[in-house]
Structures are given as C-alpha cells and as structure tokens.
C-alpha cells in the first residue's frame, strides 16, 4: 500500500504529538508513513525526501518541528506537494516554531496548524485528500457529525445540572 501522507518529525521526541496525527489517519483509513528528518542535522536526506515525495505517490506532507522549525519550510521549498507545518512547543512556549513556520516568503507556502496540534494537522491532510476520494469524504463527514453529537450530548448533561440561579435552555 502506497502511503498518501508522510508524517515527518524533527526528532522522535515529537512522537507523542505526531501519534495523534497517526491515530487519526489510521481511523480514517489513510495510508501513511512516519520518518524523523532534520533540516539542520540531515539536510541531504531532507532534500532527497522532498524532491522524491511526489514521484513516490505522496499527496500531503505533515512536517513537525520546534525551535527554529526550518523543516516544514525547507520541505515546501523542494516539493510542489502541500506541506502542513506543525509547530512543536520546545522553547518559548512554541511561539518561535509557530512564527518560523507561518512566516514563509511569497511563493513558498506552508499551511500551519496550532502549536502541538497533531490531530488538526491530520484533519487538514484528510480534508485535502477527501477532495478527490468520495469514500474518505464520507468517513470524514461521519467524524464531523460525531463531533457535533458530542456537543449536543454535553448540552443535555449540562441541562441536568441543578443550581439555584441557573436557567436551562439558553438559546
């Protein structure tokens, strides 16, 4: 099975955050791969990966990095594929990584999710892939319906809470 999404992390210390992305891709039945690459420590491997990504059948790349966070931008500079940048909170509350990833020069874009938002990176990847895959779009629609149902159920539970000055049925 050819992977459609590549999850790239600057270090395996990022795995707890990237596992949320992997879990969601697994749930959505999207083939993916995971690798550790560093824009600073393994630049030749990053270039080989990025330049060959489309030819290998990949459709979307999730690239996570902290601190200087060059990895997503370097990959985006060398592939026409969409790159989703995932800033990792390693210093400065992750703001250094966020700014590094989101502030790309014109013509080289990286779609960026929130700090440590591994799940949202995978959600965005699925949304991109679902544009051309009706079965995946249906699985994603079911997922989104489930999110709505969680909130509806939460409101039912909140209505049951009894406080002297609380009124029910706010809207």
pLDDT tens, residue order, the chain (171 aa): 899 999 999 999 999 999 999 999 999 999 999 999 999 999 999 999 999 999 999 999 999 999 999 999 999 999 999 999 999 999 999 999 999 999 999 999 999 999 999 999 999 999 999 999 999 999 999 999 999 999 989 988 988 888 988 887 665
Q: How far apart are CA 58 and CA 2, in angstroms?
A: 8
Element (H, E) at 5: strand 5-9
The pLDDT of residue 15 is 97
CATH fold label, 5-132: Rossmann fold (3.40.50)
Is 96 within any annotated ligand binding site?
no
Q: Where are the domains of the chain?
A: 5-132
**Nearest alpha-carbon partner for 80 in 57, 51, 103:** 51
Residues across the chain: 171
Is 54 within any annotated ligand binding site?
no
Element (H, E) at 139: helix 134-160
Is 23 within any annotated ligand binding site?
no
Report how far Cα 118 is from the mean position of its chain's Cα atoms. Answer: 5
Question: Do the beta carbons of residue 78 and residue 47 sit within 8 Å?
Answer: yes
Alpha helices (H) in 53-133, listed in sequence order: 71-78, 95-102, 118-130
pTM: 0.92
């Amino acid at each position: 099975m050819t992977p459609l999404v590549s999850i790239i992390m600057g270090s395996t210390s990022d795995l707890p955050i990237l596992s949320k992305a992997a879990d969601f891709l697994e749930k959505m039945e999207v083939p993916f791969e995971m690798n550790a690459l560093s824009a600073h420590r393994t630049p030749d491997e990053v270039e080989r990966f990025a330049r060959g990504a489309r030819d290998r059948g990949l459709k979307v790349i999730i690239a996570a990095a902290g601190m200087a966070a060059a990895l997503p931008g370097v990959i985006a500079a060398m592939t026409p594929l969409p790159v989703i940048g995932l800033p990792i909170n390693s210093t400065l509350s992750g703001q250094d990584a966020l700014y590094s990833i989101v502030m790309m020069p014109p013509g080289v874009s990286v779609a960026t999710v929130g700090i440590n938002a591994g799940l949202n990176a995978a959600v965005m990847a699925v949304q991109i892939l679902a544009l051309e895959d009706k079965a995946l779009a249906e699985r994603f629609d079911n997922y989104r319906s489930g999110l709505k149902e969680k909130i509806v159920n939460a409101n039912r539970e909140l209505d049951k809470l009894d406080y002297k000055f609380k009124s029910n049925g706010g809207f």
